[in-house]
Amino acid sequence: MVFYVVGLGLSDEYDITLKGLEAVKSCERIYLEAYTSILMVDKERLEKLYGHEVILADRDMVESDSDTILKDADKVNVAFLVVGDPFGATTHTDLVLRARSQNIEVKTIHNASVMNAIGCCGLQLYNYGQTVSIVFFTETWRPDSFYPKIKANRDIDLHTLCLLDIKVKEQTIENLIKGNKIFEPPRYMTINQCVEQLLEVEEKRGENVYNKNTIGVGLARVGCEDQQIVAGTFEELLTYDFGKPLHSFVIPGKMHFLEADVLKEYAINKETFEKYADISQH
């Protein structure tokens, strides 16, 4: 018997691979990881395709109650579904290690993720440096650990993919302390919020890593029918309406002229793009 870790791709129920679908249909229990990313459809559409109930697995279940997920996985097939590719988050690696420690056979079925689909904007994947996460600022917590990573990338002319924060089934500090099982509505960071926070950190740190005239690329709902790709200065992107989630953001490094030619097609203002883009002529 097998514990399958299956990537679902980026958009809807039909992005699963044929190999993944065959594996899922063989399973007695199916869990959907529901906190590092989201599909653009409800789980009911997955259930209709699979012909089986899908159990939502929140962060608490995956990180603290993995025994429930792995129960009897040495006797029956169990599937753990992940939006994108299975190993986009470290908690999934931990789950695999726990399964192997119990002598449960694990099979991984890969799929597209934002880490490779981001190539749709025209910037070559092998020209990216470290990927960073941008989390929601609070009144008392405004982390800037991403800043030196962006600087390191830009110092050697590499692009930076920024993954934007998702808050699903989160509690306020007050409810957490009181043990109240009351959860906040889901929140998904927008490109506008990301750019605003990036500029705030630049103003605080003052190392001139980027500024309001730096070219950025906003990508919304990558892999979906209504995918959006928009290039512009940080200032232009601050107010651009990208619509519903999920959003991602890219800060280009020095661009090959062919990369720039593709990206310019998505520019809010082509003259502004040509003025501020860092383009190699070689």
Largest CA distance in the chain: 63
- The SS3 call for residue 142 is coil
Name the amino acid, one letter, at 174. E
Q: Which residues are annotated as a binding site for S-adenosyl-L-methionine?
A: 10, 85, 88, 113-114, 164, 222, 247
Residue 247 to residue 201: CA distance in whole angstroms:
20
Asked whether 95 and 73 are in contact (CB, 8 A), the reply is: no
Rounded to whole angstroms, the Cα distance separating 114 from 81 reads 16
**Please, which residues bridge with residue 106 across strands?**
3
For residues 187 and 176, what is the distance between their CA atoms, to the nearest angstrom? 18
Q: Which residues make beta-bridge pairs with 82?
A: 7
Per-residue CA distances from 43 to 11, 51, 53 (Å) = 12, 12, 9
Binding-site residue numbers are 10, 85, 88, 113-114, 164, 222, 247
> How far is Cα 249 from Cα 159, in angstroms, rounded to an integer?
11
